[in-house]
Structure 1
């Protein structure tokens, strides 16, 4: 029995065609669902590429669609890998022709999936209302502002709400596609496919997006220097009172200005910086976990594991295994 028809919506920008990022997300879906693996499962998925009209979808990168957007209706799974950047920026609405096709497909019983900014299309169709959804963390704030009915979660790789699934960008899109294969065909097939693609066999949707937390740009000249100083001395037992003194402010004023500049409290900002430092040390050095905790200011190995796992959804050791480049590790000195 076939795992079904997967229909991918291809809607390029009318002026610029398909961008590199749009092609990347489309290619991920095509690689997972469009390349047969008869030794793993036969027959494999049937793939449809659906656009405004069958034929070439131009731009710097071209792709030939096989169906019109009406081909989304009746598919077992519908994937929206992207929307034009103008729709993400808010310069233009998501094309109504795509919105209507998505509504019709959902009403006909299709499983609806978005990769990265494809969530803007599902949201425009009203399919994410009252549901958890995610997208690349750079775009989740805009998604939440434009669609307040959606429960936007920028801290996960992907969400699975049964018939509606969404993913963050880049490799998280691949994680979600493999998750779909796992749901459809089982862990063995998904694991073998992941091995052929040379990616981890399974990253749960609850694992955090790996977001950098740089020192924020701010027009408040009194905050910039102290935040730069703090980021360079994270191994010290920093306190809000000490940072406020260095900024020549009262603790209350420092707290208020930092929240206004960064959207977070001083303690949460410090924790985010320390987690980011721990990530860098785990990725680029062979330091024991105990020393990573000390150098990042998170203290003991147990404290590092607690905060790291709570924030990122994965242990420091598992993070290191996933992100450490090949070759002899550095001592960090």
Structure 2
């Protein structure tokens, strides 16, 4: 049976967020069979107000939650959760019917609902960067990281604002069914299978304009030379800037330090090599600039909680149909 995804719309719901899970998970198939049964629900069937002046008609009521394998709460301006950090009894009662094995997810300010339901206490989570301070004020027991696009803790996953919900849903799809299925859905949606960096790059910051230039070309160059030494001095020489100016502008443009950015690029490249090639693990480590197999293992474990071989077995793209048929 397909995995049941219940998407709970609490009014006024963010229509953009609400549309993401049905589109991503509803597009996932294998051999023509749907992999998910996506059910958009409210506390009862009928119209649900959105934040942008129109209502959406949902076919399911809260009973959909009782059959869910995954519950997703999209962004919402739902007043009890957003203003007071609480949920009324009828919402608590509906959420109490969710099976114990179910995975919980939120998109954008849907994290306020999960926090009010007691799902985020003592856990790491994220939300829209502009709303992180509000969530932190209401729920100081939640470890909030507003610099990332999403946080995946296995049974709990939260995303940053709006389009970051696409990143999270594709990530979960990839985790559930592998890179080939997720990449096919991404192609269908005409979006990137993954995006580099976190939402820190979208936070409004004054960019210094007294020294001219940009680090963008150097970032492109660095991605093509990941197997080589890429310290700040090397990067700043390529950008024709002093190390101090380069580091300041780099952080202003990306929201992170050159060292952290290079490391993230190397890990991402290693993941792509593990997914798409048969290169030995030590060669993957060298080609991605991580140096040794032990270094690759440590960074991959920190990033996704898997060893290189386990990651390859989990996320390796499926061979073409002709290869599977032995032709």
Verify same fold: TM over 0.5.
yes
Conservation of the 8 A alpha-carbon contact between 2:28 and 2:181: no
SS of structure 1 residue aligned to 2:129: coil
Contact 1:54/1:66 (<8 A) preserved: yes
TM normalised by structure 2 equals: 0.64
Match of 1:195 in 2: 187
> Per-residue CA shift, 1:243-298, capped at 9, x if unaligned?
xxxxxxxxxxxxxxxxxxxxxxxxxxxxxxxxxx98x6529x99996227559812
1:77 aligns to 2:70 (yes or no):
yes
Match of 2:239 among 291, 294, 301: 291
> Counterpart of 2:114?
122
**Aligned-residue offset at 1:56:** 2.4
Given candidates 97, 107, 113, the residue that maps to 1:104 is 97
- The alpha-carbon distance between structure 1 residues 82 and 100, as it changes in their structure 2 partners (threshold 3 A), is farther
Q: Does 1:282 align with 2:232?
A: no
Q: Is the 8 A contact 1:282 1:292 kept in 2?
A: no
Question: Which of these two proteins has the greater Rg computed from alpha carbons?
Answer: 1
Instruction: Let me know the Cα RMSD of the aligned residues.
Output: 3.8
Q: 1:313, 1:282 → 2: CA distance? A: 17
**8 A contact 2:111–2:127 mirrored in 1:** yes
- Cα pair distance change 1:120/1:89, threshold 3 Å: closer
| 8 Å Cα contact 1:293/1:300 also seen in 2 | no
- Provide the residue aligned with 1:133 in structure 2: 125
- 2:7 corresponding residue in structure 1: 8
> CA–CA distance in 2 between the matches of 1:30 and 1:152?
27
1:51 equivalent in structure 2:
42
Distance in 1 between residues matched to 2:76 and 2:88, nearest whole Å:
9
1:32 aligns with 2:32: no
Alignment-derived partner of residue 208 in structure 2: 231
Q: Secondary structure at the match of 1:179?
A: helix
Q: For residues 292 and 186 of structure 1, do their structure 2 counterparts lie closer, same or farther at Cα, with a shift above 3 Å needed? A: farther
Aligned length in residues? 248
Q: Is 1:307 equivalent to 2:298 in the alignment? A: no
Distance of 1:85 and 1:302 partners within structure 2: 37
In structure 1, distance between residues paired with 2:149 and 2:198: 6
Question: Would the aligned equivalents of 1:207 and 1:312 in 2 still touch at CA under 8 Å?
Answer: no
Q: Secondary structure at the match of 1:25?
A: helix
Once residues 96 and 130 of structure 1 are traced to their aligned partners in structure 2, the CA distance between those partners, rounded to angstroms, is 23
Consecutive unaligned residues of structure 1, counting only runs of 5 or more, are 216-229, 236-276, 319-333
CA shift digits 1:45-65 (9 cap, x unpaired): 111111121122245322221
Distance in 2, Cα, partners of 1:99 & 1:196: 37
Q: Structure 1 residue 148: deviation in Å?
A: 0.9
> Counterpart of 1:231 in 2: which secondary structure?
coil
CA distance in 1, matches of 2:56, 2:248: 52
Q: Does the C-alpha gap of structure 1 residues 143 and 287 become closer, same or farther in structure 2, counting only changes over 3 Å?
A: same
